[in-house]
Amino acid sequence: MPVFDMSLENYLNPDRYDVFTFGVPPVSIDIMLAVKGLDFKEVWSQARWKLIDKVQVKLIDLQSLIQAKHASGRHRDLDDIDHLQS
């Protein structure tokens, strides 16, 4: 969903909207309210901070990323899994 639709009502209704996108791909950021196949509290507790270009970013572990991509079932995510595992 485009960022201009990011209202409090839409944000609090993750059954209807679960991703808000800022920018235009390939230079964009997705704010995801839910990720198929993952439990937020579990994944967040396993995530690690990493310094990228002088910015601290919290990243999920590789197995959680693969699990989420598998749960999405999209062809491009399934293709990503092959590349992530090699």
User: Are residues 52 and 21 part of one domain?
Assistant: no
User: Are residues 40 and 30 part of one domain?
Assistant: no
pTM listed for this prediction: 0.69
User: Are residues 45 and 28 part of one domain?
Assistant: no
User: Are residues 44 and 86 part of one domain?
Assistant: yes
Element (H, E) at 55: strand 55-59
Nearest to 63 by CA among 86, 44, 78, 43: 43
pLDDT digits (tens, 9 = 90+) for 56-85: 999 999 999 999 999 989 899 999 998 998
- What angle in degrees, to the nearest 10, is found between the helix axes of 75-85 and 62-72? 150
